Amino acid sequence: MAKTVFDKEMFLDLVVNFIPLFILLFFIVGYTVYNPFGIDTTFRSLQYALIVTPFIMLTILTYLSAKAIGTSERDAPVYLPGGATVDGAEPVEEHEE
């Protein structure tokens, strides 16, 4: 666990999940600033819970999966996805795409 697996390239890959996170954040802020439906504590808190929960869950899952993928990338040879057990498979070079 010497070097962190979260380097710049990893962050680029994770952008894909930052976008929905950002949209959720946008609505969290938006509903705070603009609230046409009046104050009702129960429903207000439910309203936030319904957006905040997916936000947190998505953050956690993204973190965990990124860590799992990053760690295996660092510690083991990376083959073509689905191609590791092909006869004479060679590890692929670093950059995909």
Tell which positions 18-57 bind another protein, by CB under 8 A. Answer: 19-21, 23-24, 27, 31, 37, 40, 43-44, 46-48, 50-51, 53-54, 57
Q: H/E element holding 13?
A: helix 8-33
Please provide residue 83's backbone torsions phi and psi, each rounded to the nearest 5 degrees: -120, 15
| Pick 6 or 80: Cβ nearer another protein | 80
Contacts of 25 (CB under 8 A, 6+ apart): 55
CB of 63 to another protein, least distance (A): 11
| CA distances, 89 to each of 6, 71, 82, 96, 97 (Å) | 27, 21, 11, 16, 19
Which residues would be at the binding site for another protein (CB under 8 A)?
A: 13-14, 16-17, 19-21, 23-24, 27, 31, 37, 40, 43-44, 46-48, 50-51, 53-54, 57-58, 61-62, 65-66, 68-69, 71-73, 76-87, 89, 96-97
